[in-house]
Amino acid sequence: MDGITPQLLALQVFTGLALGAIYVLLAVGLSLIFGMLTVVNFAHGAFFMLGAYVGVFAAEQTGSFWAALVLAPLAVAAVGMVCERWLIRPLYGRGIDYPLLLTFGLAYIMVEGVRIGFGKSGLPFDTPELLQGSVSLGFADFPTYRLFVIAVVAALLLGLWLLIERTSFGLIVRAGARDPVIVRVLGIDVSRVWLLVFGMGTGIAALAGVLSAPLQGVSPEMGTSVLTVAFVVTVVGGMGSLMGAVVAGLLVGVVESLAVLFFPEAAKVSMFVLMAGVLLVRPQGLFGRAGLMA
């Protein structure tokens, strides 16, 4: 452990928070869809990947990273709503396995479609000039772009909280997640709410893909590994819990970052060790409800 200073430790924690911010976006989108629709979306990683590719295309066409940051989530959200309306909705009420298998196959179709359209090799995605360089945190310099990622995720979470907790739409979403039958009896079109929620979940995944593209590049397989992380974070936080997704995403990011510093060989499995430890104490996750999958 020689050479590990408090400054290095703090820098690694900030690096973990930036990584965890991406995990939070992935898990929030996944939890939003599961909490409202009870759909285990195995295509979530593919929507993440699609967002990155649409971001590359939008940036090339407009010459602006900022335009890509807005257009990619909107475009992928539209694709997600089409998938929900015409592919997933007919399977509601048939058991949780049917949408799971459908989204599993949908992910393969989306990945192969991207390979056909953009090629099998990866694409670069440059960090915008304004966000290049580093910022002094007092104890160390930290990449400006990673701080930007943390800020964007924080702003999005604040907006999502206000939407869910302070608007009539959020009230319908929360009520629909608990008892959609009662909401339908009250004359509310629950199907339209499901459509919008699925679009929001896939749009948030796409935003995560655009934000992560300058950090890791863009490739057809990039959604495969993050899907595993998204489910680990969702399980640790509790299936369907947005608060759990936020806390667990940051926790997993920091744990993985610190594992790189202290136990580099075990960095890849650190999140699974964390998941196992949490589930031994709380099988429903940190903020989950017991019996939700029953």
Tens digit of each residue's pLDDT (9 = 90 or more) over 176-198: 767 777 778 878 888 898 899 99
- Which letter does DSSP use for residue 135 in this model? E
Number of domains in the chain: 1
In a domain, 262, yes or no: no
- Is 106 domain-assigned? yes
CA dist., res. 101 & res. 34, Å (int): 15
Is residue 232 domain-resident? no
Is residue 58 situated within a structural domain? yes
Examine residue 64 and state whether it is found in any structural domain, yes or no.
Answer: yes
**266 falls within a domain:** no
pLDDT tens sequence across 23-73: 999 999 999 898 888 888 999 999 999 999 999 999 999 999 999 999 999
Task: Return the number of other C-beta atoms located less than 10 Å from residue 227's C-beta.
Answer: 23
Q: Domain span at residue 32? A: 13-221
Decide if 91 contacts 98 (C-beta within 8 A): yes
pLDDT bracket for residue 3 (50, 70, 90): low
Tokens of 193: 């709410």
Q: How many CB atoms lie within 10 A of CB 205?
A: 35
